[in-house]
Each structure stands twice: as C-alpha cells, then as structure tokens.
Chain A
Amino acid sequence: METNASLQKEISVEREASEIFEEFKELTPSEFFRRNKQMLGFSGKIRSLTIVFHELITNSIDAAEEAGILPEMVIDLKRVDKDHYILRHQDNGPGIPEPFITKVFCTMFAGSKFRNIQSRGQQGLGCSGCVLLSQMTTGQPVKIRSGYKEGNKIKGVEMTVKMDVKTNQGLILDRKEIELDSTGVSMELHFKDVSYSLSEQGAFEYIRRTMIANPHAKIVFKDPTGNRYIFDRATDEIPPMPKEVLPHPKGVTADDLIFMAKHTDKRRFRSMLTSSLSRMSNKRVDELEEITGIDFNKRPKDMKWEEAEKIVELFQSMDFMAPPTAGLIPIGQDQVEKGMKEILEPEYVKTITRNPKTYKGGVSFVIEAGLAYGGKSGRVVGEQKKAEIMRFANRVPLTFDQGSCGITEALKSIDWKRYGIRDLENAPITVFVNIVSTHVPYMSTGKQSVAPEAEIMQEVRQATMKIARSLQKYLNAKRAAKEEAMRAQIFETLVPVVLKEAAILAERDVPEYTDVMAKVTRKPKILGGVTDDE
C-alpha cells in the first residue's frame, strides 16, 4: 500500500516531455571523446603515452610515404615533473598546408583515410586525439611548426592552437610565418598522467618494434634521462603506395549496398553493382536477376532494403574470384629480415611473406612472419631470456591485449617441440607476425588485438611453421657442430688415458699412437661390428 502511495507522490512530480527536452544536446565528437578518452586508447599512464607515440609516428610515416620521402623523425621526451612530460615530435614529411593545420590537430574525424585502403591509421582521430589528451591533462595549447612546398618555395608557419571541444574546432592563439629550409611538421605537446616505461607496453619498445616493421624509416629518440638512441634505417626502399580497391561482394552488407546506391552516379542498379564491387561481372548480375526476380535495370535509388538483403544473402552462396590483392602492400620478406637484423642483431633470422588469402570469403589479407634467434632476440626478464611475440597490423605494432589476440593464439597452438624448441617461453626467440589487410578484424576499438578468424589463424600457423622448420635446421646444425667439437675433445682426453692404463696393464710401454688418434678423431660413427649397449 505504501509503495502505491509513494508512487503517487512521484507521479505528482512528473515533468513534461518539453521540459526534459530543453536539456537535450548534441555532443560534438571532441566533447564525446573528452568524456570517453579510453575509447581513443588513453587508459593507464604507460598505455596513454604509448598511444601518443603510436599516433604521431604512424601519421609521420604515412605522410612521408605518400609524398615519396624516406621517413625520418626526431623525438624528444622531457620529464618536467613526476608524470608530467613535454614531447617534441618532428618529421620530414611533406608538411601540412596552413589552412589544414587546425583541422588536423583540433578536429576529430577529419582526415584522408576513410577509404577502402590499407593504411596505418584509419579514423582521423590520431593527432587531434593527442591534442585532446594534452589539453585535458595540462590545459596547455599545442605549438606546431609546419614547412610545406608552395610552388617552388618552402613556406613555414608556426602556430599555437587550442581545441574548442564544444565546437570540434581549433582556436588559433598565436601565428607567425617563419623561415624553414625543409618540409615537415614539428609539434610540442604537454602531458600529465602519463608515464614513460621500458616495459613491453612502453613507448621505447613501441619505437623499437616500429623500426622492425618499417626498415625504411629512421628515428632519433632522446629519452627522459637524456640518452639518445639512433634507430637507423636498414633499407632505402620506400614501400609502394597501396591502391584503393573496390569491396568484394562477400564483404559487403545490405547497408553498404544501400549507401552505394544513394551515392552512385550510375543510372541503373546493374551498372552500379559492376562498377562499385570487385569481381562483379554482368554474368553474375544476370544470375542474381534470374534467382531474385529483382529488376536490376531500375534506378539505384529505388533499391529497397529487403532487396538489398536478398542480394547480400545470395552473394554468400555464389562463387566469386578472390578479391584483387593490388591493395595489399606487404613489407616483404627481405625487408622484414633487414629490419629484424638491424634491431635484433640475431644469430639466425628467417622471414616469409605468404601469398594473399581471404577471410570471411571476401576480405583479402597477407601474413608475414619472421623468427629471430639469439643476439638481442627475445626479451630479458631478470637474468633470463624469454621469448617475445611481436604482433603487427599493417606495419603498426600491436603492443596491448596480447593474450586475447588471434595471432598469439595461433602461435601458441604450434607444437614448437617439433621444431627443436623445447620451451618457447624460455627461448631467446623473437617471433614477428604482420597482418596486411584493408580490413584488419580488430577485437575492439583499441585496435590492439586481431580477432581469431579461422583463415587468419591458419595462415599465421602455416607461415610460422614454415620458417620454424628452417630455424630447426639451423639449430640442428649448430648442435651438431657443438657435438663435433665435444667429440674431438673427448677423444683427445680419453685416448691417452686408455693407452696409459692399457700399457700399465700389459706391463709394456705406451706405443706411438698418432695414426690411431687421427683415425679416431676423423671417424664420425661407430667402428664396425654390432653395438649392443645393454
């Protein structure tokens, strides 16, 4: 009874809808991410700084490559106070023209990468995300210098900007033109609540791994203690730019089809399909038409949702050629090898780039793998060397969520004992795996682990097992050589012992035995007769 009464009471304070909707607001992307910075990967002090390095480095490399320049960066991390750092990041890319500077640094979801193309970054959150973090933790503006070509001259501009979160726009606090003799962007950002670490998840390791997957890049890094590390490039080859490829029928959804139909310039649905999907021939469209009974000659805009659904469903059961792979640019096994050699100085290294395969029937991908043994391979834990797994997606190191990653799972499912590695965990080995795809199936927004798609797991296993066989051969040969040396050593010590004792036993002198010794040390196997050791 009482509950009823209290209910009555509440009803009496009921507000009208109009009253509530007075508070209805639209969030700008900047405001949204200010409230949900973990969605940009900024969670935890170490991780936050690593993500900053990741965003800035990938942007610099992408920009340089697009301009056909060998990427080079100078990064300087200064520690002002506990958890308070100043980061200076400078690259040699093409620079950013002045009108775009505030867009790049202060507007979320502005960028050039919203295409069906293999690229490092993808969402246009990189730079602006870092500026957001800086501003949120320190209130400081960001200082930017950009040098870019205009005609034959290099134009230089220096700006101090802030992000207006409410409007998702940049605010220019200061601006002046400066003289620069080369192109590129440099920036200075303040951060608090971040932490520099040498751990596997830390910023230093991130740079090291980046260098392995990008042997054409050069990074000079000054750490907070003042140490200067020069990661030199291992090759002068700039990787070719990936081409944009049309989506494959098996990879599209009904919503994708409707979206294409809305934005196409084609006048008939038939020609829209053949021009916006790969591997889509007129013959295939005829087949679709016959089975569905849909009129494929109607205007794209007249396509109904139910029809799109029916078509997508049919795609799954039809045979299409595998998607074109021109869009995929792997690092290449030679380049991976160069990268691993440069950074790990291993005793032995073997790499492989596999042929393209597809997962989910229509998304093509390439797996590259490398194994390095000895030297600086593996990571040092206390006094011991442990194996390390380096995962990459489109050359970008995946440093977090290793446990839940399909790549890790695939590697752990390999029976390493078969390849002469008794205990992978405790071997001085670095395993490198890079997945190249226009759509890497990430597990979450953090983009740090790859979903365990059966086809991807299979490829990772195949690739790694293939090079593990080579490593096994090397290890066997090494073992054999060591045994050979030990064998010789054994003969050289024991032959004199046997002869001395035998001479005492026979009460004779030790005979000259140079010939016998020579015969013995050269003999690889048992000397004739049956061996029957218990």
Chain B
Amino acid sequence: MMNRRDFTLAKLKGLGNTIIDDVEKNTVPSLKVPSRGTSNIVYDEAKRYYVLGDRYGQRSLGNVKQIKKVAQMVSMANFCKVLVETQKTATMRETYYVSEGWDVDFGSQDESNLVGEDLEVTLGVTREDLGLMPEEDGASVYGNITMKDDDVEINASKTGKSGYSISPTIDDVEFVDHDVQRVIAVETMGMFHRMVQEKAYKKFDTLIVGLKGQAARATRRFLKRVNEELHLPVYICNDGDPWGFHIAMVIISGSAKLAHVNHDLATPDAKFMGVTASDIINYDLPTDPLKDIDVLRLKELAKDPRYRNEFWQNEIKKMLKIGKKAEQQSFSKYGLEYVVDTYFPEKLDSM
C-alpha cells in the first residue's frame, strides 16, 4: 500500500493533470468540489460518525467567481506539494502570509483557510497530509509508550510530569513499543496531574491524556491511531455537563464541521466514562445548578443523531431532571485520592 505521502503527492499531481487534460481537449476545465454545506453533512449510522454526502459544487474556469477559487486552489496545491516533497509543514497563518507572493492572493486568512478545506475535500486527504498544520499543539500524554519522531525516540513516561506533547505532525510519528492496556483521556490538566501524582498509569496500566478542553485535531488523530493501530480501548472522563459530554462525543463521532476528514479523526469505539448524571447522584457530588445555556445545550444534544442511543438519552434526561452539573475535580470532596482509588476502578469495572 502506498504511504500517505506518496498518496498525497499523487493526488496533488492528479489535480494538475485534470486541468491540463481538459485544456488539451479544448474543454473548459471544471473541478468537482464536494459540498460542505450543512445540507450535505450526514450522520453515517454504520460508521458512527458524520460524513459528507455526495453533493458537490463546480469550480469552473468559465465562471468569473469560481475561476478565482480555482486559481487559489492550484496555487495552494503547489505550495503544499513543495511542503510534502521537502517534508516541511506550515501553519495556516504562514500559508496566508506566503500567499501574498502568489499571482492570486487571499482577502483574509478565513478565505485561505476555506481554500485549504476545499483542497482537503477535493483530494480526499487531510490538511496534515498536505503539510498544513494548526497552530496549537495537541494534548499531553503520560505513560509507558515509546514513539519515534524522525530519528528521536521518546518515551512518554520520561518527559517530565507534564508528559509528552502531541505534535501537530503526529502522523509522522511511529509507535515503537508500549506496555499499557488502555488509554484514559481527561478534560482538564488538573485531573491529568492528579492522575500522574496518584500513579494512575501504574494502577490501571494506562496512558493518561490531558485533553485541555476540546480535543485538537492532532489529539484526535493520536487517540484514533492508538485505538486502531495498538488496539487499546480509549476512555474519556470529562466534567459532568453538556460541554464535557460533547468534548467526548467529538472524539467518538467527529464533528460536523470536519465531516470530510472524520474517517481519519473519529474514534467510534472510544467510551465515555463520566462524569454522568448518574455519577452525580450515585456519588453525591458537589454540584452547580444548570444555567439556561446549559439546559439549552442539553436539549440540542438530545436531538443530535450522535446522542441517539439509550445511554445518552437517559443521561441527558436525568441531568435535565436534577437540574445540576458537576466538575470532574469535585470528587476531591472525598479526598484527593478518591477519584483514582475508588471512582476509576468502579467505572472501569462497569464498562
């Protein structure tokens, strides 16, 4: 099988060929760009994540508005081709600045970001494949896993208490060795450090991943790879509120906005451990009342196809009924060790 790099290069070249072939046949070149409009984003029940539908838009050289997009796309494609060939990366911001030297430029970074997405969906590759990187690093990982990034070998239990920072270029990282049974991802770095201090990695033979809120693309990519390549079960533990629920759900079933790359980002087998509404009741956790915006969000989630199963419907109903939410760190009511000593073992047993 072709590696991702060669695959991406072939796709980029193919884009050029389509246009040149058309011109040689004296037809006006026109590109098919899968539509990213909401009407073309559908939830795939079998795959358990959002995918793009089969509708697409035209980018024709014969249309005064579309030709500019085509020019921007091929210009960016050439820029990406050089990145991939030289194994470099550029951030979206850098790309935007570089584009100022092109024959056709962008009005704003939003515009260049959109053309980047056009390129992703048209070629069926991710932006990371194209060498375009998000600004931010991914999550922190702690635990006994050895990875090879270029020529450097890294063990995530030997990179200090803050762990290994997932690089935006995570796809170039090779997994060399590990001796863990599972992965536990937590929403806050506070909980991450609690788990490191309580040696949770030993107790549960686990990797600890500190998500830092909504998971970055690189983090999601990491979780998917450890799940699929190393066959490790992934558990997610977040705050017990609609926002915590959804951070978990985006890892599990992907987001609508990135429907075109969910096949590379979603980890449908990842499990949500808590904090659930049931946990709030069973563990008698300190709570805050739900705010209006929390209630609104919960009602939205209840209608979302990703939350259609019984478990989620029950938990959402229960939370609305009790009208309360709880943070994952509220377990410290019972002592700092409680969450690792009692909560995690009980939850892992039940799953």
Contact = CB atoms under 8 A, between A and B. Distances in A.
A152 B276 CA distance: 118
Interface stretch (B69-77, B157-165, B202-210, B236-244): B69-77
B221 to A, nearest CB: 25
Interface string B67-86: 11011001101100100000
Contacts of A529: 30, 58, 60
Given A501-B75, A505-B77, A491 B64 contact: yes
Given A501-B74, A515-B26, A529-B30, A523 B62 contact: yes
A380 interface: no
A498 B61 contact: yes
B15 interface: yes
A80 interface: no
B71 A497 contact: yes
A503 B22 CA distance: 12
B104 A502 contact: no
A520 B24 contact: no
Contact of A491 (B19, B67, B103): B67
Contacts of B35: 532, 534
Contacts of B68: 490, 494
B20 interface: yes
B16 A502 contact: yes
Contacts of A528: 30, 58, 60
B66 to A, nearest CB: 7
B61 A508 contact: no
B64 A519 contact: no
Contact of B63 (A498, A508, A527): A527
Nearest to B81: A505
A473 B22 CA distance: 39
A259 B67 CA distance: 81
A504 B114 CA distance: 22
A109 B27 CA distance: 85
B55 A527 contact: no
Interface string A497-534: 11111111111101111011001100101111111111
A523 B104 CA distance: 22
B67 A508 contact: no
A495 interface: yes
Interface string A279-314: 000000000000000000000000000000000000
Interface string B291-309: 0000000000000000000
Contacts of B23: 499, 511-513, 516
B106 interface: no
Contacts of B78: 501, 504-505
B20 A511 contact: yes
B56 A511 contact: no
A516 B28 contact: yes
Contacts of B75: 497, 501
A506 B104 contact: no
A490 B70 CA distance: 13
A523 B28 contact: yes
Contacts of A525: 63
Nearest to A503: B20
B71 A501 contact: yes
A519 B67 contact: no
B56 A532 contact: yes
Contacts of B20: 499, 502-503, 506, 508, 510-511
A498 B77 CA distance: 11
A487 interface: yes
A487 B12 CA distance: 29
Contacts of A507: 13, 16
B13 A505 contact: yes
Contacts of B29: 498, 502, 516
Given A498-B70, A528-B58, A530-B58, A504 B19 contact: no
A528 B56 CA distance: 13
A505 B12 contact: yes
Contacts of A516: 22-23, 26-29, 61
Given A498-B61, A498-B67, A505-B78, 9 more contacts: A505-B12, A505-B15, A508-B16, A516-B26, A519-B28, A520-B28, A520-B61, A523-B62, A532-B57
25 contacts: A494-B71, A495-B67, A498-B67, A499-B19, A499-B23, A501-B16, A501-B74, A501-B103, A502-B16, A502-B19, A502-B74, A503-B20, A504-B78, A505-B13, A506-B13, A511-B23, A515-B26, A516-B28, A526-B58, A529-B60, A530-B55, A531-B57, A531-B66, A532-B35, A534-B37
CB-based closest 10 A-B pairs: A505-B16, A506-B16, A532-B57, A527-B62, A502-B19, A501-B74, A529-B58, A527-B60, A497-B103, A523-B62
Interface of B: 12-13, 15-17, 19-20, 22-24, 26-30, 35-37, 40, 55-58, 60-68, 70-71, 74-75, 77-78, 81, 103-104, 114
